[in-house]
Structure formats: structure tokens, C-alpha cells
Amino acid sequence: MEEEKKLPVHVSIIMDGNGRWAKERGQERIHGHFEGVASVRACAEEAARQGIRYLSLFAFSEENWNRPGAEVGALMELMGKSVCDEEKTLMDNNMRFLVLGNRARLSAGLEAAIRALEEKTAANTGTTLVVFLSYSGKWDLLQAARRMAAAGDDDLEKYLVTAGVPDPDLIIRTSGEQRLSNFLLWQAAYAELLFVDKYWPDFREADFRAALEEFAKRDRRYGKVK
């Protein structure tokens, strides 16, 4: 009998290479981010078609606040625009929307738009699209440790912003760089890592499907002997 294809429950993507994609075309970095939104839509729709329970995207790190003000402003504007424009994509695909990170740093307008979309999609039962915004792994561990100590508890996982979201089975990073860059440090403990030699704006549904094929070939042992 043919073995059932192993499907990851949670696929997470470090979307990298937007700036280089734009530079190679003689364009401003923000054009790479614009084109990156089309890849977000393509992968989200493919994840929904494939029945992936969680797709998460590293959209903006705590360190990204240190980029030039104009780029940070343009990225935040793009986030706000995407949150408004993509409501139909999410509803049509029965997707739930969730933003995780240091949300206190977001503007009141963006925070309100995010909250509204989270509420609007809360009852959807398909893929959950998690966007990590103003997130870093060390920040998450620190805020969790503080809250855990205050509660006199020892269940750290419960205090991470990802509580309730299963750990990623597969983490994909585009652009050829091979590092986690302060992403899900605790949660990535047993994730399969896949580094893809394409810039994020070039990563589309066929690449997402190829990543799932690669994942199905991996032998996961969690430190045990099979």
C-alpha cells in the first residue's frame, strides 16, 4: 500500500531577499516588498488548497525597526494596506488571521486594522495564517520568562506569544541565506529546515509545493532511534 504523504501541520517561512530582488532590477527596495505580497498571497492560497493547518510568515523582526525610517514607514504602510486588501482572500479561503509579536510597538491604526481582521476571520476553520510582526525569538523568550516568573510557574511554553500554535514542522528560508535570524528559537527545536535559493518575490505556489515534497522525504526522529 502506498504510504500516505506526510504533510506538515505548521509551515513557517522566513521571507528573505526582497531588497536584493529589487536591487537586481534597479528598483527601490520597497518594490521588492510590494512583489513579496503577491508571494504571500500565492503561498497562503496554496497552503489552504493543500490543507496545511498553520502557515506562518516572518514579516518584520524587532531588529527591522532599525532600518532607515523611510523603509520602516513604507513597510508598515504596506502591512496596513495588505490587511485591508487581503480580507477577501482570507474569507474566500476560509482562513483565520493572527498577528504575533510585540504589538505594543505598532501604530494604533495598524493595530486596530489587524484586530478587526482577526475578529472577522476568527470563526474560519481552514488554514490559520500567522504573521509575525515586530517579533524576535529572544524578545519572546524574555517576555515569557518575565510573565512566568511573575506567576511563579514553570511552564514557559504557556507564556510564549505562540501559545496554542503548534511548533513549526518545516521552516523555509528564501534567498539562499542559511540562518534563523532570531526567529522562533524555542519553537524551532525540532523543525526541519529548508533553505531555498530564490528571492522571496520569486517564491510562488510551485515552490511551496516543492517544499512540501521535500518535507515528505525527511526522516524525523526527535532524538529517538527508529
Selected from 47, 52, 59, 191, the binder of ligand FPP by CB under 6 A is 59
Catalytic residue among 64, 102, 124, 182: 64
- C-alpha to C-alpha distance for 9 and 24, rounded to whole angstroms: 35
Half-sphere exposure of 57 (CA within 13 A, CB side): 22
- C-alpha to C-alpha distance for 160 and 44, rounded to whole angstroms: 24
Active site residue 16: yes
Smallest separation (angstroms) from ligand FPP to the CB of 62: 12
| CB closer to ligand FPP, 131 vs 170 | 131
Smallest separation (angstroms) from ligand FPP to the CB of 33: 5
Q: Which residue has the cell 494604533?
A: 108
Half-sphere exposure of 137 (CA within 13 A, CB side): 12
| CB closer to ligand FPP, 109 vs 220 | 109
Selected from 11, 13, 30, 40, the binder of ligand FPP by CB under 6 A is 40
- C-alpha to C-alpha distance for 219 and 166, rounded to whole angstroms: 19
Q: Is 194 in the site for ligand FPP (CB under 6 A)?
A: no
Say if residues 63 and 57 touch (Cβ distance below 8 Å).
no
Say if residues 96 and 129 touch (Cβ distance below 8 Å).
yes
Smallest separation (angstroms) from ligand FPP to the CB of 5: 27
- The residues of the shown chain that bind ligand FPP, judged by CB under 6 A, are 15-20, 33, 36-37, 40, 57, 59-60, 64, 78-79, 82, 131, 175
